[in-house]
Amino acid sequence: MSTTDATSTGVASPGGTAIFQVPILNNTYTPTVTPAGFPAGSLEHSLTYNAELVEFNILKSALEACFKFQTDSTDITNADTDFIAHTDETQLPAFNLAGTNMAAGSQTNTAETNQTLEYDMVRYFSNQVTGGLDVVDFFSNETELRNDVAEGAGVFETYVRSQITDSDGKHITDGATPNIVARLLDVLLATADGRTRLFNAIGGPTGVADQQHSVPFLAGDKIKWVVSYAGFDVVISATRTVSVPARNILVTLNVVDA
């Protein structure tokens, strides 16, 4: 679409056709209805955590294959029934949270070699119950505890994938059906750089009905969420009960080109 002014000139050729330019017919109309409801975006998506895992590197291409949105310029009505999310969780690799190391500063006992989530959580339980760092052997069910932590990590990953799948086909602008793609777009729309990135990615000379676009990511972007192991009470004796606080662990995906 050109926004450059052009000049039309009329030339009458003897015996040929004529172009009649009639400026007296020119007119201007000032629109009284201006574009409204453009999403402002938001960065107010806070996360609360007290521990974190080391970051996962994830390919930009995998995320852009996983998270897409569909739009068009065809129907021109307020009912954006075709402005919807498209997702495909199979494009993402397995996260294996249980086998991922705790980040520096979140390790219960830094002297240990194995710092994976499933091992560190058992040390965390032991530390909370006994106050010691190296007394896990007081538990008679170390293996069961570790396996239970790993099972929880599997539940977390299954939940993430189910949320991605459930977002497929959801309306972007319908707040009653929140979805992951809408949240990703929300962040991009919140800043000038994000809007420029988004519109450069979806801009083009042509468009068709129900055009799908990938959410545009850049190397260095991060996607974050929190997984929580709920707190519980441990009865030590008839007169003593220890409360183990919940542990809220930050998960971070770091976007890479390759």
Encode the chain (258 residues) as per-residue pLDDT tens digits.
Answer: 556 666 666 666 666 677 778 889 888 888 888 777 777 788 777 899 999 999 999 999 999 999 999 887 777 777 767 788 999 999 999 999 999 999 999 999 999 999 999 999 999 999 999 999 888 999 999 999 999 999 999 999 999 999 999 999 988 875 556 789 999 998 999 999 999 999 888 876 565 666 889 999 999 999 999 999 999 999 988 999 999 999 999 999 999 997
Task: Supply the pTM of this predicted model.
Answer: 0.86
Q: Round to whole Å and give the CA distance between 208 and 70.
A: 11
Domain assignment present for residue 65? The answer is: yes
Domain assignment present for residue 166? The answer is: yes
Domain assignment present for residue 41? The answer is: no
Domain assignment present for residue 191? The answer is: yes
Q: Which domain holds residue 120?
A: 51-256
Domain assignment present for residue 25? The answer is: no
Residue 14 pLDDT: 62
Domain assignment present for residue 14? The answer is: no
What residues are paired with 252 via a beta bridge? 224
Domain assignment present for residue 32? The answer is: no
Domain assignment present for residue 165? The answer is: yes
Which residues of the chain form beta strands (DSSP E)?
A: 51-52, 56-59, 67-71, 84-87, 211-214, 222-229, 232-237, 240-244, 247-256
Domain count, the chain: 1
